[in-house]
Amino acid sequence: MHQSKVWLVTGSASGLGRFIAEAVLQSGDRLVATAREPLRLHDLAEQYGPQIRVAPLDVVDGAAANAAVQLARSAFGRLDVVVNNAGYGDTSPFEQMSAPRFAAVIDTNLFGVVNVTRAALPIMRQQRSGCILQISSVGGRLSSPGNAAYHAAKWAVGGFTEALAQEVAPFGVRVCALEPGGMRTSWGLRANREIPSLLPEYEPSVGAFIKAVAPVWGNENSDPAKVAQVILRLADMDRLPAHLLLGSDAVQFAAQAEASRSADASRWRELSVSTDAAGAPALPNVRF
């Protein structure tokens, strides 16, 4: 049975975040909707009145993240679900991406997640309940040429989420990294709008990948409205995995990546174990 919840969703003005915000409000739950341009949420505020609060938030700003979280508690008395949705891609060969552009991708996609999670966690610990959903990507399990910064951030989000989920489980907080494949939002078009003129050496890798996926943009595999409904269901579940793939494309591509890694591990096992010291102690009894 669904119990009324208080949500905070980052990047609510567009893309998947907008679908999530609308689904939350349509379900009757209360929402703090955040965006870098909060005026883009004016229509939701008009329609849903006291059920919603709108807050300006650039997730790289830790103080603003804390203010948005505190707004949830002051307005609604608690905070049950955080969806760290804000993020973007920026396609370029690593060598041709400036240091500021690389850092900006990491700041939004990784440290944005960290900032909002850091702000929300004390409230959830005190409540002894809560759910934090990180909108990661199947790109947190595999990689493609031209997206080194994005993959660096998403792989980091996966590790952060998995470790955090183990830390907070004893006091009733659930944390999950959602790893969708392609969704019918504007993500791909934005990620590819500032591709530099490639150095010829990168045509066989980055150039070939860009050409291969170009027909996908605008025809992605997953429906963001369906993803939003899945997110509503996950918030009601007592147990969540640390990672959850979304979309048949994500399932297929992740399986291919895992098979490749497994084959490499077997092929290189003898070299891997050759570094053991003589008389090495038994491994600790821990599970991953």
**Among this protein's residues, is 202 annotated catalytic?**
no
Q: Which tokens is 199 given?
A: 């150095």
Q: Cβ(172)–Cβ(237) under 8 Å?
A: no
Token look-up 């944390």 returns 175
Set 12, 136, 137, 222: catalytic member = 136
CA distance between the termini of the chain: 32
Distance (Å, whole) CA 61 – CA 116: 9
CA 101 to chain centre: 19
Of 78, 102, 77, 100, which is closest to residue 90 (Cα–Cα)? 102
The CB density around residue 287, as the number of other CB atoms within 10 Å, is: 4
- 154 labelled catalytic: yes
Positive or negative, the CA dihedral 107, 8, 18, 235 is: positive
Cβ atoms of 148 and 91 closer than 8 Å: no
How far is the C-alpha of 205 from the C-alpha of 214, rounded, in Å?
Answer: 14
Q: Which of 5, 92, 154, 222 is an active site residue?
A: 154
Active site residue 136: yes
Amino acid at 64: A
Counting Cβ atoms within 10 Å, is residue 201 exposed (0-12), middle (13-18) or buried (19+)? exposed
Radius of gyration of the chain measured on its C-alpha atoms: 20
Q: Which of 48, 92, 150, 202 is catalytic?
A: 150
d(CA 120, CA 83): 11
Nearest to 70 by CA among 30, 117, 17, 123: 123
Give me the active site residues, please.
136, 150, 154
